[in-house]
Amino acid sequence: MAASVPAPFTAPNKTLKLGAKGAAVKALQTRLKELRYLPGKIDGRYGGTTQAAVWAFQKINGLKPTSTITARTWNALEQPAEPRILVPNGKPDRAEVNLTKQVMVLYRGGQVRLITHISSGSGVPYVEYAMWNGERQKFTGDARTPTGNFKTTWRRSGWHKSYLGQLYNPIFFNGGIAFHGAQSVPLYPASHGCVRLPMHVAEILPGQLGTGVPVHVKGKFAR
């Protein structure tokens, strides 16, 4: 299915930094939302939710992610790139996780529904001790988000306690590996293996991503 053509956009070309307020921020947020990134509330305030959307947009457009909005990002917003399709013959409803760029793209009916910044498995082996089933236990793993083709399975609403920490609105797709909201979603892979999402994305994802939907995980992050 052909990609929809975004409406024309004239950038304010004003340098913006995190914490900025005003009409230029509102224009930024409005454009990001139109392009299926999720900047949060369109309120003219450049906070963390907008920053996460900016990062996702910059990564899709081949720009080094930064919270400062300069001419390069404004120019890309005028002529935005489409996310590269990882599975050209994939189902119309699917999620594609690009570990190389650290982004997730959700397709509904063959169209991009949302694009988000993520943080996947760090690849650093871990040893964790936690109280589980009433006793202190040792857990080890390679902190890797395996590549492959999966499907969404079970989920939980709100905070779900696992032996490796708290997961917000988790949607599992590969054993104990899930999409879930996290308070920290940095610009590098940092999880035990799950796909961390900004909290505001995890808030709405359960309503967008059903059970039994294909999840394709491709690529490899280069540090």
pLDDT in tens, 132-154: 567 776 666 678 999 999 999 99
Whole-prediction pTM: 0.91
Residue 87 lies in a domain: no
3 domain residue, yes or no: no
Please give the biggest Cα pair distance in the chain. Answer: 60
Residues 105 and 45 in one domain: no
Question: Domain for residue 41, yes or no?
Answer: yes
Kindly tell me the sign of the dihedral angle through the C-alpha atoms of 206, 198, 34, 103.
negative
Considering the domain architecture, whether residues 178 and 203 belong to the same structural domain is answered as yes
Residues 54 and 154 in one domain: no
Same domain, 173 and 149: yes
Q: Are residues 140 and 177 in the same domain?
A: yes
CATH number where 41 lies: 1.10.101.10
Same domain, 106 and 148: yes
Count of positions (residues) in the chain: 223
pLDDT score for 43: 97
117, 194, 200, 216: the catalytic one is 194
Catalytic residue, from 117, 180, 192, 216: name it.
180
Q: What is the pLDDT of residue 127?
A: 60
Q: Is 157 contained in some domain?
A: yes
* 116 & 206 share domain: yes
125 & 212 share domain: yes
What amino acid is encoded at 33 in this protein?
K
pLDDT (mean) for 72-91: 96
Res 4: pLDDT: 66
Is 192 tagged catalytic? no
Is residue 34 domain-shared with residue 101, that is, in the same domain? no
Q: Is the same domain home to 147 and 196?
A: yes
Under 8 Å between Cβ of 49 and 38:
yes
Listed in sequence order, the residues at least 6 apart from 187 whose beta carbon sits closer than 8 Å to its beta carbon are 55, 65, 102, 119
In a domain, 16, yes or no: no
DSSP string, 146-181: --EEEE---B-SSEEEETTEEEEEEEEEETTEEEEE
Q: Residues 203, 106: one domain?
A: yes
Residues 64 and 115 occupy one common structural domain: no
Cα 150–Cα 201–Cα 29 angle in degrees, nearest 5: 130
Total of domains in the chain: 2
Q: Measured between alpha carbons, how far is 50 from 29 in angstroms, rounded to an integer?
A: 7
pLDDT: which is higher, 4 or 103: 103
Residue 197 is assigned to a structural domain of this protein: yes
User: What is the per-residue pLDDT across 88-113, written as a single tens digit (0 to 9) for each?
Assistant: 999 999 999 999 999 999 999 999 99
Asked whether residue 134 is assigned to any structural domain, the reply reads yes
Read off the CATH number of the domain in which 107 is found. Answer: 2.40.440.10
Domain residues for 64?
23-78
With 50 as the cut, is the pLDDT of residue 1 above it?
no
Is position 6 within any domain? no
